[in-house]
Amino acid sequence: MTKPYPPIGYSDYLKVDDLLQLQCPRAEQFGISAHDEMLFIIVHQTYELWFKQILTELDSVLRIFARPKVDENALGTVVSRLGRITEIQRVLIDQISILETMTPLDFLEFRDALFPASGFQSIQFRLLENKLGLPRAQRLPFNAQPYTAYVGEAERARLEQSEKDVSLFECVEKWLERTPFLESDGFAFWELYRKAVARMFESDRELVRKNKVLNDEQRDKNLDGISANEDGFNAIFDEKRYNELRDQGSWRMSLRALHAALLINLYRDQPILQLPFRVLVSLQDIDENFTTWRYRHALMVHRMLGSKVGTGGSSGHRYLRAATDQHRVYGDLFNLATFLIPRSALPELPKAMRERLGFYYSDKKEG
């Protein structure tokens, strides 16, 4: 059978010759012999290629979530593409081990030739963070300057535009807000759930009180922690208090979106909630993987430079360590685990509600 396309070879298709010309060790230009600079360049160029693929997946997911209604088939695609991102992230983390085969002395042979270039200037990674939903206000200042101060004018325009575009965080928040709630057929889910969580907190207090290993100070500290968690839980049923905490940065999602995420986590075994649950888990995986990557990167920089400043003029590993937690996007989803209870303690769903959750939910009634 004749193929409809003209033949092409492997090298031509992948532009291998062009690709292999892109590694240009800078130390050589100054007559310095630095064997490991080639490794340094290839690892970082590979990072940029993987960032490009992650951006491709994110843009696809953003287009799906931008629709007025996201059906189950589309959610399956979202889960698949978010899952691909997490697999790529594992490669990014593993590449640090390859880079660490370079010793500090090997790195110092060519480090001075890199000034003031820095990974902080990676436009693709900054775009990636913005598309995931990292707001400028949450970013750790870099030498008391905004992150856009260290790139060219055209790149700055791209980054500023990406801040104006709808992020995945915002899309997911709106999607969650459209989730139907368990407040029909006379079933007061939230009231029953609050009682179950209250019993959980009281059980935790009883365990602390009966723990003979704890001294009085430790016991009081644990009891105070339980009370703080209980106050936080009560706040998610008090819109005014919740909005106050949101303004303080304790929460980021809208209250309606947070309720939906909580419901999805609690009843994830219901068929209709399985894919939404996997979406939320994938977002947590992505956040966790980038946190791990930043942490591993910070350790590597500490290993290579000690307390020296970074090539871009930052405080080196100290800045990277500080950004590890500061730049997380989906902390709300992690914090919900505080309020989860065992399956056995969940309010039992009425038969009609279980049947409704057994197939695709639609706002349109059959006629």
Condensed to tens digits (0 to 9), the pLDDT of residues 161-196 reads: 999 999 999 999 999 998 876 555 667 788 888 998
Domain identity same for 146 and 18: yes
**Percent of the residues in the chain that have a pLDDT greater than 70, as a whole number:** 93
> pTM of the predicted model, to two decimals?
0.89
The predicted structure's pLDDT at residue 247: 94
State which residues form the domain around 220.
Answer: 183-266+330-367
The predicted structure's pLDDT at residue 250: 92
CA distance 241 to 289: 32
Sign of the CA dihedral with 339 first, then 343, 349, and 353 last: positive
Query: What mean pLDDT do residues 276-281 have?
Result: 97
Query: What mean pLDDT do residues 336-361 have?
Result: 80
Domain identity same for 53 and 139: yes
Q: Is the predicted pLDDT of residue 323 greater than 50, yes or no?
A: yes
Question: Does residue 168 contact residue 58 with C-beta atoms inside 8 Å?
Answer: yes
What CATH code is carried by the domain that includes residue 130? 1.20.58.480
- Domain total of the chain: 2
Domain identity same for 243 and 346: yes
Domain identity same for 301 and 352: no
Q: Indicate the pLDDT class of residue 73, thresholds 50, 70 and 90.
A: confident
Q: Is the predicted pLDDT of residue 259 greater than 70, yes or no?
A: yes
Domain identity same for 315 and 350: no
> What does the CA dihedral 358, 359, 365, 367 come to, rounded to 10 degrees?
-110
Task: Give domain status of residue 175, yes or no.
Answer: no
Burial grade of 310 (CB within 10 A; 0-12, 13-18, 19 or more): buried
Q: Is the predicted pLDDT of residue 313 greater than 70, yes or no?
A: no
Task: Give domain status of residue 20, yes or no.
Answer: yes
Task: Give domain status of residue 174, yes or no.
Answer: no
The predicted structure's pLDDT at residue 186: 63
Task: Give domain status of residue 257, yes or no.
Answer: yes
Task: Give domain status of residue 66, yes or no.
Answer: yes
Q: Indicate the pLDDT class of residue 159, thresholds 50, 70 and 90.
A: very high
Domain identity same for 291 and 154: yes
Domain identity same for 241 and 150: no
Condensed to tens digits (0 to 9), the pLDDT of residues 24-39 reads: 999 999 999 999 999 9
Domain identity same for 32 and 58: yes
Query: What mean pLDDT do residues 249-262 have?
Result: 94
| Residue 145 φ then ψ, to 5° | -125, 150
Q: Is the predicted pLDDT of residue 3 greater than 90, yes or no?
A: no
The predicted structure's pLDDT at residue 181: 63
Q: Is the predicted pLDDT of residue 131 greater than 80, yes or no?
A: yes
The predicted structure's pLDDT at residue 227: 95
Q: Is the predicted pLDDT of residue 157 greater than 70, yes or no?
A: yes
Condensed to tens digits (0 to 9), the pLDDT of residues 89-103 reads: 999 999 999 999 999
| Average pLDDT over all residues of the chain | 89
Condensed to tens digits (0 to 9), the pLDDT of residues 200-253 reads: 999 999 999 999 999 999 999 999 999 999 999 999 999 999 999 999 999 999
The predicted structure's pLDDT at residue 367: 40
The predicted structure's pLDDT at residue 365: 47
Task: Give domain status of residue 122, yes or no.
Answer: yes
Task: Give domain status of residue 244, yes or no.
Answer: yes
Domain identity same for 49 and 124: yes
Domain identity same for 137 and 279: yes
Condensed to tens digits (0 to 9), the pLDDT of residues 104-123 reads: 999 999 999 988 888 888 99
The predicted structure's pLDDT at residue 119: 85
Domain identity same for 241 and 341: yes
Q: Is the predicted pLDDT of residue 303 greater than 80, yes or no?
A: yes
**Percent of the residues in the chain that have a pLDDT greater than 90, as a whole number:** 66
Domain identity same for 50 and 162: yes
Task: Give domain status of residue 126, yes or no.
Answer: yes
